[in-house]
């Protein structure tokens, strides 16, 4: 019985150190300041790339709208406001 009590006390005292050492082995080491700086730079570059993509898409859409406006102004419709009015002589069907 005395041996069991001594064994239990020894296990009770050693368990926290065994658990702590295995826990420390499973943790990742702290990142160095240079690694943190590299990550920040990479995130910054990714955000800039996204912003550039959005700006390019906006420019494409703007250019398409300008092209449509230019085509409409170059070839006006034959009817509706702004078209050349036809003058019909009295009694004729236009």
Task: Please check whether residue 54 lies inside any domain of the structure.
Answer: yes
Residue 52 lies in a domain: yes
Q: Which domain holds residue 48?
A: 43-70
SS3 23: helix
Is the residue at 17 inside a domain?
A: no
Report the chain's C-alpha Rg in angstroms: 40
Residue 58 domain flag: yes
Instruction: Please say whether the beta carbons of 43 and 50 come within 8 A.
Output: no
User: pTM for the complete prediction?
Assistant: 0.46
Residues 11-38, buried b or exposed e (16+ Cβ, 10 A)?
eeeeeeeeeeeeeeeeeeeeeeeeeeee
Q: Is residue 53 part of a domain?
A: yes
Instruction: Give the total residue count for the chain.
Output: 94
Tens digit of pLDDT for each residue in 5-54? 777 777 777 666 655 555 556 778 889 999 999 999 999 999 999 999 99
**Are the C-beta atoms of 59 and 67 separated by less than 8 Å?**
no
In a domain, 18, yes or no: no
pLDDT in tens, 70-87: 998 887 666 655 555 556
Question: Domain for residue 27, yes or no?
Answer: no
Domains identified in the chain, total number:
1
Asked if the structure places residue 19 within a domain, the reply is no
């Amino acid at each position: 019985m005395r041996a069991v009590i001594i064994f239990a006390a020894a296990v009770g005292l050693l368990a926290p150190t065994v658990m702590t050492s295995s826990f420390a082995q499973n943790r990742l080491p702290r990142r160095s300041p240079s690694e943190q700086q590299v990550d920040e730079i990479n995130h910054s570059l990714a955000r800039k790339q996204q912003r550039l993509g959005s700006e390019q898409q906006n420019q494409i859409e703007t250019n398409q709208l300008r092209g449509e406006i230019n085509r409409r102004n170059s070839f006006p419709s034959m009817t509706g406001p702004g078209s050349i009015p036809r003058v019909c002589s009295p009694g004729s069907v236009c």
